[in-house]
Amino acid sequence: MTPPVRCAVYARFSSDLQRPASIEDQVRRCRDFAAGQHWGVIEDYVRFDEAKSAASLAGRDALRSLLEDAKRKPAPFDCLLVDDTSRLARYLPDVLSLNDRLRYHGVFIYAVAQRLDCREKTSRPLLTLHGMMDEQFLVSLAEKVHRGQEGRALQGLQPGGKCFGYRNVPIEDPTRSAKYGRFAVSGVRLEIDEEQAAIVRRVFEMYAAGESLSSIAKILNAEGVQAPQPPRTRDIRAWCPSSIREMLRNERYRGVFVWNRTRKERNPETGRKTSRPRPMSEWMRVEVPKWRIVSDELWDGVQSQIEFVNERFGKRRIGGFSRTEQSKKYLFSGFLKCGLCGANMTIVSGNGRRGYVKYGCPSHRYRGVCSNRVMIRQDRLEAQLLQGLVARLLRPDMLEYALERFAAQLQERLRRLEEEAKRAAGGVQLLQDRREELQTKARNLAEAIAAIGHSPSLLTQLSVIERELERVDAQLLQVNQPMNVAVTMAELREFVARKAGELGEILRADVATARQALAKHIEKLVLTPQETPEGPVLEVSGDVDLFGGEPCVVQMVARDGIEPPTPAFSGLRSTN
C-alpha cells in the first residue's frame, strides 16, 4: 500500500488589524482537507507568521524554517499545505521560486482553496496565474490606499506620520466599530501644540537673525529642550542641524500642506520600504490656514537666509561614503566612531582649499551634547593609523600568521595548476590529431589551388585552416611549457614583509577601492579622547582584522594638527 502523504502546514496573516483567529481558520481548513485525503499532518511542522506582509520573504521566519527543514535528508514531510497561494507570497517570482526550491527537495505545494496540486503537469501555469492575481491585489490595494490618503490631504487632514509642533487627534466614526470596543477611526486632524509651536517660532527667529544650524542646536540642547525624534544611530537624543534644516523648509508651518513628494518602494532583498522622491509635477499643495505657526514675513526671511548660506557656503554632495568630492580622498571616513557618545566622527573643521581638514565629534561640534572636544587632522590621522596597521602586520607573530595564510593559498593554487596541467596533458593527443587533420586539409587545398589556379573560395578556406592551425600550435606550446614554481620560504617571507610595508602606498593609490576593501575587515574604529602628560591623544580601538589576530588599542597623538616630535604611535596593547 502507498504510504500516506506527510503534510506540513503554513498559515499567515499580514496586518495586526486582522483577526489572529485567521491563523486558526487557515490551519483548520488544511487539517480538514488532509483528513479527507487520508493524509497525515505532522504537528511539529504546523507553523505560521503573524502580521507579516506577503510582498517579501524577508522576516517570514516560519516559512524560512519550513524551507530549511525541507532540505533535510530524508525530507521530514512530503507536502506543504496552504489555505491559498496568497498565504505563501504576493510576488510572482517568490511564488515560483518557492515552488521550484521545494520540488527540488521532493516536497510539493497544495493550495486547498484553489485545489492546486503542484505535482500536476498543468500546475505551473495555474500557479503563475494565481500568483499574478495575488500580486495584482497588492498593486490595487496600494492604489486604493494612495487614493484614500489623497482624499484626506485634500480635506486638510493628516494622511499619516507625526510633525513637531502639532499633535495628531483621531477622528472617530460612531457608526463603525473597531477592536476592543472602540469606534473606528475615519481620519486624523492636526492640532497645534502651543508648547512645541513656541519652539518652532524661536528656531525660525534665530535662523532669520543669522544663527547657524549648529548654534541653534547647541542652544536648544544646552537648555534641555527635548528633540523631536529619538536617535537611530546615536546614544544621545539631541537636536541636530539636519532636523533643524528640515524644519526650516517645512511649508506646513506656514499653513501649506505639501503632499505626494515621495513614494514608498520595497527592497526585494531586505523587505524594507524606502522613500523615493517624486517629480515636482506630482506634488500637491493644499492651503490649511489653521496649521499656520509662523508668519509669511518670518518664513520669507528664513528662506532668503537659506539661499544666502547655500550660495556662500554650500557644497556639492554626492552621497554614500563620499559625501563630497573632497571626501572621496579620505581613507577612513565612515569607519570612525566617537568613544564617548557613539556618533560617527566627521569632518568638522577646515576644507580642501586649505590643504587639510579635521575630524571631530559632531555631537560636540554641532549639538553640544558630547564632551569630546579633541580634533585631529585627516592627513595625520590616516598617517598614524596606517603606521599602526603596518607596525602590527610586521610583528613576528602577525608576519608568521600572514605567511602561513599566504603559503596555504599558494599551495592550493599550485595544486589547481597541477590538476589543470594533468587534464591538459590528457588532451595533448587530441590536439596532435587535430593538428594532423588540419595539415592534411591545408595540403589538399594548396594542391587544389595549384591545379585550378586562383580561387577566392579556396583561398578563404585555406586562411581559416591556417588560423586554426596557429591556435592549436599555441595550445600545444602552452601545454608543453614547464612551470617554474619553485619558491622558498625565505622568499615567501620577504614577499609578505615587503607587501605589508607597502600597505600605506597600496591603500592611497586608489582610495575608493581601498575603502571598499577595508570595509570587509573593519566595521568601526572607536576614537576615545584621553589626556596624557604629553597632551591629548585619541585611543583607537575596534575590530581591525586585516590578516587575523586579536583586537588592539592604539594611542594616536591628537593635538589639533600639531606635528608630534615623537613617533605617532606609543605602542599596541592587547585587550579582550
Last residue of a domain, one of 313, 342, 358: 313
User: CA-CA distances (angstroms) from residue 148 to 153, 164, 265, 468?
Assistant: 9, 24, 18, 70
CA distances from 187 to 132, 153, 159, 171, 286 (A): 32, 10, 8, 5, 17
Is it the case that residue 567 has pLDDT exceeding 50?
no
Task: Give 382's DSSP letter.
Answer: H
Selected residue with higher pLDDT from 281 and 323: 281
- Work out the percent of the chain whose per-residue pLDDT is above 90: 25
Whether 388 and 409 map to the same domain: the answer is no
Question: Are 383 and 517 in a shared domain?
Answer: yes
Check: CB of residue 382 under 8 Å from CB of residue 540: no
| In a shared domain, residues 383 and 510 | yes
434 and 375: one domain? no
508 and 562 together in one domain: yes
374: in domain: yes
Which of 422, 455, 489 lies at the terminal end of a domain, its last residue? 489
Residues 456 and 478 placed together within one structural domain of the fold: yes
Rounded to an integer, the average pLDDT of 367-384 is 84
Q: How far apart, in whole angstroms, are the C-alpha atoms of residue 103 and residue 117?
A: 12
User: Which of the four pLDDT bands, split at 50, 70 and 90, describes residue 260?
Assistant: confident
Please identify which residue in the block is written with the cell numbers 535528508. 73
Residues 368 and 249 in one domain: no
DSSP string, 215-265: HHHHHHHHTTPPPSS--SS-SS----HHHHHHHHT-GGGGTEEEE--EEEE
C-alpha cell at position 450 = 595549384
Query: Looking at residue 268, what DSSP letter applies?
Result: T
**Domain interval for residue 285:** 194-313
Domain CATH code at residue 37: 3.40.50.1390
CA-based R_g, the chain, Å: 35
pTM for the structure as a whole:
0.55
My answer on whether 306 and 353 are in the same domain is: no
Q: What are the strands, taking DSSP E only, across 270-345?
A: 273-277, 284-287, 336-338
SS3 522: coil
Between the alpha carbon of residue 18 and those of residues 12, 53, 182, the distances in Å are: 11, 12, 15
Residue 387 lies in a domain: yes
Lowest mean pLDDT among 6-10, 196-200, 351-355: 351-355
pLDDT at position 11 = 94
Residue 562 DSSP symbol: P
Please check whether residue 148 lies inside any domain of the structure. Answer: no
510 and 368, same structural domain? yes
Let me know if residue 94 belongs to a domain.
yes
Q: Residue 45's pLDDT is what?
A: 95
Residue 320 within any structural domain of the chain: no
**Looking at the domain assignment, is residue 150 inside a domain?**
no
3-state DSSP call for residue 499?
A: helix
Q: Are residues 382 and 528 in the same domain?
A: yes
The listed range with the strongest mean pLDDT (227-236, 250-259, 560-569) is: 250-259
Domain count across the chain: 5
> Is 131 in the same domain as 20?
yes
Q: Is residue 200 part of a domain?
A: yes
Identify whether the C-beta of residue 249 lies closer than 8 Å to the C-beta of residue 306: yes
Q: Which three cell numbers stand for residue 563?
A: 606635528
Q: Based on the domain organization, do 228 and 280 belong to the same domain?
A: yes
pLDDT above 50: residue 548: no
Residue 173 lies in a domain: yes
Q: Cβ contacts of residue 489 below 8 Å, gap of 6+?
A: 403, 407
pLDDT in tens, 32-86: 999 999 999 999 999 999 888 888 888 899 999 999 999 998 889 999 999 999 9
What pLDDT, on a 0 to 100 scale, did the predictor assign at position 341? 86
CA distance 294 to 299: 7
Q: How large is the average pLDDT for residues 538-565?
A: 53
Measured in Å, how far apart are the chain's first and last C-alpha atoms? 63
Query: How confident is the model at residue 438, as a pLDDT?
Result: 85
Residue 497 predicted with pLDDT over 50 = yes
End-of-domain residue from the set 99, 115, 140: 140
Residue 542 scores a pLDDT above 80: no
